């Protein structure tokens, strides 16, 4: 019966659907996208930027989101930097099996045959870095421990750099200039793709000992030591060891804080986690607003329906409909409307999530609970919005109602 | 005494219209027995519509008593009245009052919905009632696909479907031409012959002549109550 009436009043029904539809659509879409971002941040951001089961010994964090005060920043800047000897000290003493890579980087221009590639992340490191970053060298080769020891002027390029400088030519064996210093290209790393729309292929890797190191780090100084372990538990163990070793080496008293930083993917994600928590807290508010608006629209439509269908109500009452029959009829009608709205909202929300997935790198996944919540809210809004018009309808006097035009 | 369907004693009804009080009924006494065919007449303002609403349990009196099939209706609350309307009264209106978007069958089934009858039985009884008014072949048509006479016959089928104590008709031919009016009067006469109690409000003497008893109201009181031989429809 409810469906019949709804079908007969398509346009009005459509408008009242829209309110609930938008609310539920946003609920589904936003939940999917935020969860997708969570997955993305954890899988892509952290593991690609830092490496799987990897942590970094640094002077200070380089991924900071959220509250870093000026004082904190200043005190970080006053800390001693990480030196070659720090790295050697740790490598020699950590007992947990781990792979170490000394690391130093800055943005530098690379030149080849008159062409210039600016702002390339020039990384000075060890041969182990390729394993830690999971860089696959698709053409040529990575440099060897011997080349690191010999400070050989060799270079492994990121895909975009190779493309930019050599445009289709084979870069292997060619000579690239860094501030006039000649480097021989010995390999190219497989394409890494984008992260937040930024290319992950704008880099060049050389031995940290090579001559151009003076452009990226002061002598004997490193940005960080990357330490990769076999799994999460090993990583915890290695982190504890490194912390103890560094504290002992720097003569810190128990009351003193660390004057170095151990950066993990987890830690780098802390800022993001705060953001996503805020999004999830703001979400109910947003959805509530659109559902309240939807509810008001439905209530208006139902009030209009009551006054338009006064005569019908009179007929039904004359034929023996009790108040609760009329009440039930109108509540069921508005609940049906909003349920249909919620169903469409779910469909649109899922569609939106898929569009986001298709057009962006976010793996937006629809959370089953959000569908349940969407349906529940839709029905609830319809029933609440239906109660007032329905009670108006049920209280109509049958004689007046029958006389209505 | 047991065949007394309607017993009205000293029935009054006053409306407050702003500061004024309008006395629509000023003490009506009326008894209607089973299988009577009564026409209630009177000029406009005589109180016949008010009396009709009282008899139909759509309104409650200010004073006096109304007994319908042995129950005192005059003291009943809303939902109890709805129940009485559903079980005891079959309405036929001047303007038919069918649900425009529902089929004839669905319209006829409506009182059964509120009586809590199962869908299967509703359908069977709805089809039977439409058969009684000769509309078996129009069951699935909507009101706007039917002629005026057919619409009124759907309304009559709807009035009969719950086997009411009285068939209560308010100007049943008011919107029909004279040929169709005769056709409807024939249906009423047939139902009366089959034992149905019929109460009809009309201002047309031609129509009232079909009844076997004519009650005339004037100024909220019964002015005359005459039995006569009904003209053959």
Query: Judged by CB atoms within 8 Å, which residues 298-317 of A form the interface with B?
Result: 311-312, 314-317
pLDDT, position A40: 77
What is the Cα–Cα distance from B28 to B12, expressed in whole angstroms? 7
List the single residue in A with minimal CA-CA distance to B108. A319
Q: Do the chains contact at B110 and A4, CB–CB below 8 Å?
A: no
Distance, CA of A175 to chain centre: 39
DSSP state of A363: -
Would you say A37 and A239 are in contact if contact means Cβ atoms under 8 Å apart? no
Give CA–CA dist A357/A350, Å, rounded: 10
Which pLDDT score is estimated for B104? 95
Give the closest of A8, A311, A320 to B83, CB-based.
Answer: A320
Q: Please provide the DSSP assignment of A222-268 as one string.
A: ESEEEEE-SSHHHHHHHHHHHHHHHHHHTT--TTSPPSSEEEEHHHH
Residue A12 at interface with chain B, using a CB cutoff of 8 Å: no
Name residues 360-399 of chain A within 8 A of B (Cβ).
398-399
Handedness of CA B17, B21, B24, B29 (dihedral sign): positive
Q: Does A405 touch chain B (CB under 8 A)?
A: no
Instruction: Report the complex ipTM.
Output: 0.93
The sign one gets for the Cα dihedral A138, A140, A141, A147 is: negative
Which of A311, A320, A399 is closest, CB to CB, to B114? A320
Q: Which residue has the tokens 């031995």?
A: A207
Q: Dihedral (C-alpha) A93, A99, A104, A110: value to the nearest 10 degrees?
A: 150
Q: Which two tokens stand for residue B175?
A: 């919107």
Residues of B within 8 A of A323 (CB-CB) are 78-79, 82
> Which sequence spans correspond to the domains of chain B?
34-60+78-227
A vs B: CB pairs below 8 A:
56
Cα Rg of chain A, angstroms: 32
- Taking contacts as CB-CB distances below 8 angstroms, the residues of chain B near A317 are 58, 82, 85
pLDDT in single tens digits along all 233 residues of chain B? 468 999 999 999 998 888 899 899 999 999 999 999 999 999 988 999 899 999 999 998 999 999 999 999 988 998 999 999 999 999 999 999 999 989 999 999 999 999 999 999 999 999 999 999 999 999 999 999 999 999 999 999 999 999 999 999 999 999 999 999 999 999 999 999 999 999 999 999 999 999 999 999 999 999 999 998 887 65
| Interface contact A320, partner B, CB < 8 A | yes
CA distance B214 to B227: 6
Instruction: Tell me whether residues A322 and B53 touch, CB distance under 8 A.
Output: no
Q: Which residue of A has its CA nearest to B84?
A: A320
Q: What's residue A176's pLDDT?
A: 93
Element (H, E) at A153: none
Strands A82-83 and A175-178: what pairing?
A: unpaired
Q: Do A5 and B101 touch (CB under 8 A)?
A: yes
Does residue A18 contact residue A295 with C-beta atoms inside 8 Å? no
- Topology, domain B34-60+78-227: Rossmann fold (3.40.50)
**Each residue's pLDDT tens digit in chain A (405 positions)?**
566 666 666 777 777 778 788 888 888 888 888 888 777 777 766 677 778 889 999 998 876 655 678 888 888 889 999 999 999 999 999 999 999 999 999 999 999 988 888 889 999 999 999 999 889 999 999 999 999 999 999 999 999 999 999 988 899 999 999 998 999 999 999 988 877 677 888 999 999 999 888 888 888 999 999 999 998 899 999 999 999 999 999 999 999 989 999 988 777 777 777 777 887 788 778 777 878 888 888 888 888 888 888 889 999 999 999 999 999 998 888 888 888 888 888 899 888 888 888 887 777 777 788 888 888 888 888 888 888 999 988 988 888 888 876
| Contact across the interface for A323 and B78, Cβ inside 8 Å | yes
């Amino acid at each position: 019966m409810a469906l019949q009436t709804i079908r007969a009043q398509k346009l009005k029904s459509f408008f009242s659907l829209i309110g609930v539809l938008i609310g539920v659509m946003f609920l589904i879409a936003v939940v999917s996208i935020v969860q997708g971002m969570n997955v993305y941040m954890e899988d892509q951001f952290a593991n690609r930027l830092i490496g799987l089961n990897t942590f970094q010994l640094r002077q200070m964090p380089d991924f900071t989101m959220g509250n870093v005060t000026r004082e904190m920043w200043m005190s970080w800047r006053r800390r001693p930097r990480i030196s070659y000897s720090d790295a050697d000290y740790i490598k020699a003493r950590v007992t947990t099996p781990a792979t170490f890579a000394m690391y130093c980087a800055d943005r530098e221009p690379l030149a080849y045959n008159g062409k210039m590639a600016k702002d390339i992340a020039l990384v000075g490191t060890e041969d182990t870095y390729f394993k830690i970053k999971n860089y696959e060298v698709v053409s040529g080769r990575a440099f060897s421990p011997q080349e690191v020891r010999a400070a050989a002027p060799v270079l492994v390029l990121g895909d975009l750099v190779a493309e930019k400088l050599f445009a289709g030519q084979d870069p292997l064996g060619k000579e690239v200039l860094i501030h006039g210093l000649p480097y021989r290209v010995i390999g190219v790393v497989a394409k890494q793709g984008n992260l937040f729309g930024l290319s992950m292929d704008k880099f060049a890797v050389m031995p940290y000992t090579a001559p151009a190191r003076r452009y990226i780090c002061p002598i004997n100084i490193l940005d960080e030591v990357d330490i990769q372990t076999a799994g999460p538990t090993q990583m915890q163990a290695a982190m504890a060891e490194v912390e103890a070793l560094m504290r002992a080496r720097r003569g810190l008293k128990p009351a003193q804080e660390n004057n170095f930083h151990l950066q993990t993917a987890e830690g780098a994600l802390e800022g993001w986690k705060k953001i996503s928590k805020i999004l999830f807290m703001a979400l109910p508010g947003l959805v509530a607003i659109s559902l309240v608006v939807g509810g008001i629209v439905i209530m208006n439509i139902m009030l209009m329906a009551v006054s338009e269908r006064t005569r019908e109500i009179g007929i039904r009452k004359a034929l023996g409909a009790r108040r609760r029959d009329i009440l039930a009829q109108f509540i069921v009608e508005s609940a049906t409307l909003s349920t249909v709205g919620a169903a469409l909202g779910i469909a649109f929300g899922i569609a939106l999530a898929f569009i986001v997935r298709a057009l962006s790198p976010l793996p937006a996944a629809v959370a089953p609970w959000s569908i349940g919540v969407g349906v529940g809210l839709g029905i609830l809004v319809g029933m609440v919005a239906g109660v007032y018009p329905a009670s108006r309808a049920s209280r109509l006097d049958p004689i007046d109602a029958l006389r209505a035009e | 005494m047991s065949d007394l369907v309607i017993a009205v004693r000293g029935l009054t009804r006053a409306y407050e219209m702003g500061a004024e009080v309008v006395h629509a009924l000023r003490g009506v006494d009326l008894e209607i027995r089973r299988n009577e065919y009564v026409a209630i007449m009177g000029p406009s303002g005589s109180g016949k519509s008010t009396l009709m609403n009282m008899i139909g349990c759509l309104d409650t009196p200010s004073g006096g008593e109304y007994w319908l099939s042995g129950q005192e209706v005059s003291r009943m609350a809303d939902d109890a009245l709805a129940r009485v309307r559903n079980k005891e009264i079959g309405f036929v209106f001047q303007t038919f009052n069918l649900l425009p978007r529902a089929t004839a069958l669905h319209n006829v089934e409506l009182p059964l919905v509120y009586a809590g009858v199962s869908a299967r039985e509703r359908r069977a009884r709805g089809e039977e009632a439409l058969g009684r008014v000769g509309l078996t072949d129009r069951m699935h048509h909507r009101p706007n696909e039917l002629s005026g006479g057919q619409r009124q016959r759907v309304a009559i089928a709807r009035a009969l479907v719950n086997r009411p104590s009285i068939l209560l008709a308010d100007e049943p031919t008011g919107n029909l031409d004279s040929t169709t009016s005769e056709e409807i009067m024939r249906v009423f006469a047939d139902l009366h012959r089959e034992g149905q109690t019929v109460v009809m409000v009309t201002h047309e003497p031609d129509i009232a002549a079909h009844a076997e008893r004519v009650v005339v109201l004037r100024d909220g009181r019964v002015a005359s109550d005459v039995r006569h031989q009904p003209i053959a429809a």
